[in-house]
Amino acid sequence: MIIVVVKNSLSSTYNNKQMIYKNRGMDLENMLNNANKYYLDIDKAIIYKKPTPIGVVKVSYQDNHKIINRGYFKEQSTLDYNGLYKGKYIDFEAKVTHNTTSFPLSNIHKHQIEHIKKVIAHGGICFLIIMINNIVYLLKGEDFIDYINTTKRKSIAYTYIKEKGYEIKYGINPDLDYLKIVDKIYL
């Protein structure tokens, strides 16, 4: 992991709290996996990424081990991450978009939208983590559903994400301390 600390030489615009860390070679998924590992290590939360479901077509055996000789990736009907934090059920999805003005709704499947509604209705904490323009936002499931219910658009405008979302600042250990935002808005 290479961390480049970009400082603005003008002291007026330089702010310690707003130092920008660029985590090169690490994508959103890696940063979240590292955060979850960190939370597990310090016994703060128990959150895992679910394995991608696989359809297994052909197997063979080698030294008593089952080998997959043909398989394919299936769609998850839930969100990718779930777990337990401060006695609460937590469930979220993380997506990166390279669009600069909006987040395409094609990123979230129909089943997943239903899942988000259900989790909220049953008292769980449910949100999206969206990386857009290299900034990472937590968007509450409630605000996501609100948006879908009130518009026929096929994407979420960046302005909406900026307005309703909460920026998760880059840091060190963990790279993305998203539970800080969860504490702030849910607990």
Cα–Cα dist 96/115, whole Å: 20
Instruction: Provide the minimum distance between the beta carbon of 133 and its own copies in the complex, in angstroms, as a whole number.
Output: 28
Task: Please pick, from the candidates 35, 94, 108, 119, the single residue that binds its own copies as defined by CB under 8 A.
Answer: 119
Per-residue buried b or exposed e for 40-61, using 16+ beta carbons within 10 Å of the residue's own CB: eeeeebebeeeeeeeeeeeeee
Quick one: which segment of 8-16, 83-91, 128-136, 155-163 binds its own copies (CB under 8 A)?
Answer: 83-91
Based on the shown chain and the rule CB under 8 A, indicate whether residue 50 belongs to the binding site for its own copies. yes
Q: Is position 20 an interface residue for its own copies (rule: CB under 8 A)?
A: no
Rounded CA gap, 131 and 27, in Å? 10
Using rule CB under 8 A, residue 48 touches its own copies: yes
User: Letter for the amino acid at 1?
Assistant: M
Q: Strand pairing partners for 62?
A: 65
CB neighbours of 160 closer than 8 A, spacing ≥ 6?
A: 147
Q: Which of 24, 65, 110, 152 binds its own copies (CB under 8 A)?
A: 65
Between 63 and 163, CB nearer to its own copies: 63
Q: How many CB atoms lie within 10 A of CB 156?
A: 27
Q: Could you say whether residue 187 binds its own copies (CB under 8 A)?
A: no
Residues that bind its own copies in the complex, under the rule CB under 8 A: 40, 43, 45-46, 48, 50-54, 65-73, 76-78, 82-89, 91, 115, 118-119, 121-124
